[in-house]
């Protein structure tokens, strides 16, 4: 199989396992945090744990409904799963950028629409993130039943730009992993500053 084509079950198993791991991490490490821990920024130009989660909630709020609608349309058309799923060039680029280190030149800037706005966030930001992960798990189950490589999802910022469902899902999970890692780094930095 080429780099843009992967076994369907392997692809969805990998994404599902990554989301489940994020859910466990969120439940164990982020849910117990108090408001001060959620809002403490490790530096002037760094996001707090809560801001990282708010960013992911905003991102999910844009993308998950579009994914759900695209899946329903594919099911209505009678789309059926194939043995392999495909990725597109642009989608692979988005996913690669989401996996880059924060200081890398290859990383895209966070569009203003996706930037966190809260400065005094509460534990509801963690609960909302957990619900978003649960919704993503449901969508991953539905996506297994259609030809996910041929389903297109409109980009929220540029609706004329439609990206393969496989790429949207993979980029979302990569973003989740990246910002949860950033949240954990913020938490660790704050813990060492205040001990």
Q: How far apart are CA 171 and CA 140, in angstroms?
A: 13
Please, what are the domains in the chain? 5-193 (1.20.120.450)
The residues near 106 (Cβ < 8 Å, ≥ 6 apart) are 96, 97, 100
Q: Is the pLDDT of residue 11 over 70?
A: yes
Mean pLDDT score across all residues of the chain: 85
3 state DSSP class of 85:
strand
Share of the chain above pLDDT 70, in %: 80
pTM: 0.84
Tens of pLDDT along 103-135? 433 334 566 667 677 667 888 999 999 999 999
Number of C-beta neighbours around residue 128 at 10 A: 17
């Amino acid at each position: 199989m080429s780099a843009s084509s992967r076994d369907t079950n392997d692809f969805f198993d990998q994404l599902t396992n990554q989301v489940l791991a994020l859910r466990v991490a969120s439940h164990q490490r982020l849910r117990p945090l108090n408001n001060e821990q959620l809002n403490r920024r490790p530096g002037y130009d760094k996001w707090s744990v809560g801001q990282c989660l708010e960013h992911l909630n905003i991102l999910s709020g844009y993308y998950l409904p579009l994914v759900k609608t695209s899946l329903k349309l594919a099911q209505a058309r009678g789309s059926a799963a194939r043995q392999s799923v495909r990725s597109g060039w642009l989608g692979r680029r988005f996913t690669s950028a989401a996996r880059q280190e924060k200081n890398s030149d290859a990383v895209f800037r966070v569009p203003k629409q996706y930037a966190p706005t809260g400065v005094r966030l509460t534990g509801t930001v963690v609960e909302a993130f957990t619900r978003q992960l649960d919704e993503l798990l449901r969508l991953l189950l539905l996506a297994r039943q259609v030809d996910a490589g041929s389903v297109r999802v409109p980009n929220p910022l540029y609706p004329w730009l439609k990206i393969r469902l496989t790429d949207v899902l993979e980029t979302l999970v990569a973003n989740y992993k990246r910002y949860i890692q950033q949240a954990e780094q913020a938490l660790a930095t704050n813990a060492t500053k205040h001990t």
